[in-house]
């Protein structure tokens, strides 16, 4: 595989050369050659490797509009509209999971610059060999403030009609409750109804080969953190480091914590301690955990190289302060698809026993 663009030797300006435009054209040719020679990385889960390719859900040149119905799912999840399950269903048809740059997680703080950057990548994907033919997906359009939503709508319509030839692939996912408003604003695009959210078994297959383990209990004081350390030792991990995620954690804060934990390259096991998450913030935390567990990376709003941290640890352990009735697991269905280890008191109430309960 050829070196990346920023690793290539750049053209040097001769002492007598003052033509800036000529230098920029020469630099552009070098970058174009490097990107054209680079092999795009494919993120294919082990369970998908031997599957025959099926017809993609979103064709080349299509802008697909999907409305996702609220569902409890077969993992008994509540408080989720099945956005991530529908998103993974689209990529399962392609046979590969997305990179961070192919996704836009809409939220109240999404900026116009972030929207412009995402739409530029989506509508101009054919110009870059690394993402040519890839599917781009924006999720939860209803989470955008009204002004930001109208800006996204205008940009999508304008770019759709201005882009020729149409070689992009773009999917917009909205909650079913937003059908009337969104379908009216984007009347030129026919809503799709043939994409079914994946169930728990299919979502487990989409996990990377490095299977994450979720350690939970119905009460405090059963030694979840101690059990995480023991599991890491059993798997031969030599350096376990922890990050904390709560309902108040932002993407920027999680990226900083992960970057600090992984800075020296010695960390081969990651401990994610999930604390109290209110229902109003569950969808945002669920999306961050999806990136961490499924894509092995987490990105900040800017979605630039500096704001994305890659997690290459051999093992990931998620500790959940669950409580009676497993409310947090139901609010964070992404964790429910992982291997589960539930801590319970033994028959004599001491010490706690460890039982493996696959979901």
Phi then psi for residue 70, to 5 deg, are -60, 140
CA separation for the pair 335, 318 (Å, rounded): 8
pTM reported for the whole predicted model: 0.80
Between 215 and 308, the more confident residue is 215
Query: Model confidence over 88-119: pLDDT tens digits?
Result: 999 999 999 998 889 999 988 899 999 999 99
pLDDT of 151 reads 96
The structure tokens listed for 132 are 């040519």
Q: What angle do CA 278, 340, 337 make, to 5 degrees?
A: 70
Positive/negative CA dihedral, 119, 125, 127, 131: positive
pLDDT of 34 reads 66
- DSSP letter assigned to residue 341: E
Pairing verdict, β 315-320 and 269-274: parallel
Positive/negative CA dihedral, 171, 172, 176, 179: negative
Phi then psi for residue 169, to 5 deg, are -140, 115
The yes-or-no verdict on residue 61 having pLDDT over 90 is: yes
pLDDT of 29 reads 77
CA separation for the pair 177, 180 (Å, rounded): 8
Of the candidate ranges 74-78, 83-87, 127-131, 243-247, the one whose mean pLDDT is the lowest: 74-78
Got the DSSP string for 209-230? SS--EEEEESSSSS-HHHHHHH
Pairing verdict, β 62-68 and 191-192: parallel
User: Cβ(276)–Cβ(321) under 8 Å?
Assistant: yes
The yes-or-no verdict on residue 38 having pLDDT over 70 is: no
User: Cβ(133)–Cβ(59) under 8 Å?
Assistant: no
CA separation for the pair 206, 47 (Å, rounded): 7
The yes-or-no verdict on residue 358 having pLDDT over 50 is: no
CA separation for the pair 341, 222 (Å, rounded): 12
pLDDT of 324 reads 52
pLDDT of 27 reads 80
Owner of token pair 């956005």? 83
Residues forming a β-bridge with 104: 138
Closest CA to 111 of 267, 307, 266: 307
CA separation for the pair 204, 240 (Å, rounded): 24
């Amino acid at each position: 595989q050829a070196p990346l663009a920023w690793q290539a030797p750049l053209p040097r300006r001769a002492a007598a050369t003052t033509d800036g435009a000529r230098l920029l054209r020469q630099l552009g040719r070098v970058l174009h050659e490097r990107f054209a020679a680079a092999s795009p990385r494919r993120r294919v889960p082990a369970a998908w490797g031997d599957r025959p390719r099926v017809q993609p859900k979103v064709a080349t040149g299509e802008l697909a509009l999907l409305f996702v119905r609220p569902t409890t799912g077969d993992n008994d999840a509540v408080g989720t509209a099945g956005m991530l399950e529908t998103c993974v269903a689209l990529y399962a048809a392609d046979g590969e999971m997305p990179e961070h740059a192919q996704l836009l997680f809409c939220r109240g703080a999404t900026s116009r610059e972030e929207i412009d950057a995402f739409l530029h990548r989506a509508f101009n994907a054919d110009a870059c060999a690394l993402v040519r033919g890839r599917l781009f997906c924006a999720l939860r359009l209803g989470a955008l403030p009204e002004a930001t939503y109208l800006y996204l709508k205008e940009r999508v319509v304008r770019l759709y009609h201005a882009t020729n030839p149409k070689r992009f692939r773009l999917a917009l996912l909205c909650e079913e409750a937003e059908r009337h408003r969104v379908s009216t604003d984007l009347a030129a695009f026919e809503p799709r109804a043939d994409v079914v959210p994946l169930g728990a078994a299919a979502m487990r297959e989409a996990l990377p080969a490095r299977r994450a383990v979720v350690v939970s209990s119905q009460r405090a004081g059963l030694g979840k953190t101690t059990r995480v350390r023991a599991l890491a030792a059993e798997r031969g991990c030599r350096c376990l480091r922890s990050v904390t995620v709560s309902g108040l954690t932002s993407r920027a804060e999680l990226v900083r914590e992960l970057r600090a934990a992984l800075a020296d390259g010695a960390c081969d096991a990651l401990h994610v301690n999930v604390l109290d998450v209110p229902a109003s913030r569950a969808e945002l935390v669920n999306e961050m955990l999806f990136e961490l567990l499924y894509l092995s990376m987490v990105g900040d709003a800017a979605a630039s190289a500096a704001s994305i941290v890659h997690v290459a640890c051999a093992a990931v352990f998620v500790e959940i302060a669950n409580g009676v009735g497993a409310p947090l697991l139901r609010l964070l269905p992404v964790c429910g698809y992982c291997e589960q280890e539930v801590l319970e008191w033994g028959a004599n109430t001491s010490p706690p026993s460890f039982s493996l309960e696959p979901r």
